[in-house]
A and B are shown apart, each in its own frame.
Chain A
Amino acid sequence: MYRLEVKNISKSFGKINAVKNLSFNCKEGEAVVLLGPTGAGKTTTLRCLAGLEELDNGDIYIDGKNINNFSPDHREVAMFFENYALYPHMTVYENMAYPLSAPSRKNEYNKKKINERVQEVAELLQISELLDRKPNQLSGGQKQRTALGRTLVRKPKVFLLDEPIAHLDAVLRHRMRGEMKSIFQKLECTVVYVTHDYKEALSIGDRILVIKKGELIQLGTADDIWSKMNNVFVAKLVGDPPINIYNGILHLGEDNLKIELKKQETNIVFKQEKAEKENLGKWKGKEVLFAIRPNDINISTTKKANSIKGTLAAIEAISSSYEISVYISEEKIFKVKSKINFADLLNKEIYLNIDSEKIHLFNPQNGESIYHGRSL
């Protein structure tokens, strides 16, 4: 039995369909991440789970029990709000004790138990010394921890977290990303986590649910989302700098695949087993989208097999690596991620060596995936 089961839920606001026929489930102790761009319906989905929005259609089950008609206070879920939603007239301690002192939990928690639990969670989140402060005396990071504390003091069936670390500064966000994962594991939480940041999704999610305009695009592990994306939308959403995409025509040889890149001198050619070729048969001679991640390209000054000629246009140093922009035609830039600074090659002609085992092909009409490189 699943801890949380979501079956075909839909929610619309007037003419806008925020969530369309979405289904997924979540085992006990599992962290499922909803990943998607702004307006994808992630928060609406979470609000439906919390009972803050009424479903138009579909069912939600917790431990096999249908909770469609339960009000938020009866759902045994805890939620973290993107804007923290701290109670401004209460101290940090009172904020965190608030869920435990609800009249409906009178029998579960007495004053002593509440105190113990708040102290315990405050210690876990390192906010013990802030307990007497009011929210307006806290920094952004401290507010975030307080709100997280208020969510974690309870032991609900499911935790719902809406962009919990999106508004922190970069350093803190990076640290919290790791901490969140370990907190979830320590507390054995069942979590539905909403984010628009693929890095958060990949690091925190046991499984990741990519949604777009309220519809499920892909559900899979971090590996699936990164290297076996079933859609060009997922490919573009995940990765920074984003994946390079170029139009080409697919040719099938005896034991090889050839991608003829439009307006380019070179073709990408590589060996391919027969069995896999059969799936590709219907794409023979047709246009496809060729995609390769920036870190699967090497830059060199000499022409090799499977290399595209280009002009090195710009180099951005980003932490320990470099993001390099290369013009391969007048309007098309390929991004390359490299450990080496190619400053001496700036504005010079270079070759991009494509790792043929790491390419992806997509259907140019509907964006669905056709082929993933062998070694993935």
Chain B
Amino acid sequence: MEETKSIKRKIVYYILLFIVAIVILFPFVWIFLTSLKAPGDIISYPPKFIFNASWDNYKNLFVKSQSGAASSTLNFPRYYLNSLIIAGFGTILSLIIGFGAGYTLTRAKFKKEETRENIAFTLLSFWFGPELAIILPLYIIFNKFSLLDNHFALILAYQLIGIPFAVWMSRSFFSDVPVSVEEASRIDGYTAMQTFWKITFPMVKTGLAATAVLTFIFEWNNFLFALVIGGRNTMPVTTGALGFISYEAALWGQMAAAIILASIPQLILAMFVQKNMVRGLTFGAVKG
């Protein structure tokens, strides 16, 4: 009896898992299939699941002067490079500032203990408000400084997303390191700096790696800042993908291919740090 019960339970469990997996993976699979279809197959109804797959859409992304009018103005490799530059350097800047601030917020002694949470909370509040609420003032400021359509400007704007996240997530990892371990190291004859590299860093490095990856993903995925503050020269893949829909034609196939290619860096990075990502997604709410 007990055994059949547990088998039944397992079957239900796997069926549920299967349903969840389908819900989550379906759009991704759909986009992937679309990226392999010829234009005619894409818009056919009912949808075709058996078709002549080809990599043409991918090829066309990298070959200029296609017959389609819309694609002649599109420059996908450029968008991709822009994304790498902006999200890449943006992430590096976010991490340098964010990890430093995260460690300081964890360890520094404040005259009033509330100050610590007040600073942390202020940083977090950047994530509460809708981006739309700050995008207009941001546009005006950047415009005044002639910083529109500039890589550096976008990197700066992305810090609004990157730094608070890096601070909060790294802080949750730093605070898992017991103070007494660092104190023991000081008494054992190491300076504060040596203690950080010998003791603290090895204990948090996987967590910091996960933080880095998630920060990169958030910055890579940003759409609004890129749309408003960016321009023709700095367009990343997120806004660039919009160009596939134009007055003359909607290049669904190439758009799908672009989306697939744009997801690859995130997927690869995410695989490396899977284990520690969960904490980032719960945003330090639960202390490990």
**Residue positions of A touching B, CB distance < 8 A:** 50-52, 71-73, 75, 77-79, 81, 83, 85-89, 98-99, 102-105, 150, 154
Q: Looking across the interface, which residue of chain B has its beta carbon closest to that of A153?
A: B188
Task: Please tell me if the beta carbons of A73 and B180 are within 8 angstroms of each other in the complex.
Answer: no
Q: List 30 A-B contacts (CB under 8 A).
A: A50-B183, A50-B187, A51-B187, A52-B186, A52-B187, A71-B186, A71-B191, A73-B186, A73-B188, A73-B189, A73-B190, A77-B187, A78-B188, A79-B184, A81-B180, A83-B178, A85-B180, A85-B181, A85-B184, A87-B184, A87-B185, A87-B199, A88-B203, A102-B188, A102-B190, A104-B189, A105-B189, A150-B184, A150-B188, A154-B188
Instruction: Mark contacts of B165-203 with chain A using CB atoms, 8 A cut-off: 1 yes-contact digit, 0 otherwise.
Output: 000000000000010110111111111001000110011
**CA–CA, A103 to B198, complex, Å?**
11
Q: Interface on chain A toward B: helix, strand, loop, or mixed SS?
A: loop
How far apart sit A85 and B191, CA to CA, in the bound complex (Å)? 17
A73-B191, A102-B190, A103-B194 known; A81 vs B183 contact (CB < 8 Å): yes
| B196-215 residues at the A interface, CB under 8 angstroms | 198-199, 202-203
State whether A83 and B183 are in contact (beta carbons under 8 Å apart), knowing that A73-B189, A88-B203 are contacts in the complex: no
**How many whole Å from B203's CB to the nearest CB in chain A?**
6
Q: Which of B98-137 contact A (CB under 8 A)?
A: none
**Cα-based distance from A50 to B180 in the complex (angstroms):** 12
Which chain A residues lie closer than 8 Å to B181 at the CB level? 85-88
**Shortest Cβ gap from B122 to chain A (Å):** 24
Which residue in A72, A75, A98, A150 is a CB contact (below 8 Å) of B183?
A72
Inter-chain contacts of A105 with B (CB < 8 A): 189
Q: How many angstroms between the C-alpha atoms of A51 and B187 in the bound complex?
A: 8
A81 in contact with B184 (CB, 8 Å): yes
Contact B189 A99, beta carbon cutoff 8 Å: yes
New A-B pairs, 4, CB < 8 Å, besides A85-B180, A103-B194: A72-B183, A79-B187, A87-B184, A88-B181
* Complex contacts, A86 vs chain B, CB 8 Å: 181
- Chain B's closest residue to A74 (CB) is B189
Chain A residues, CB < 8 A from B198: 98
Min CB–CB distance A55 → chain B (angstroms):
15
Residues of A within 8 A of B185 (CB): 87, 98
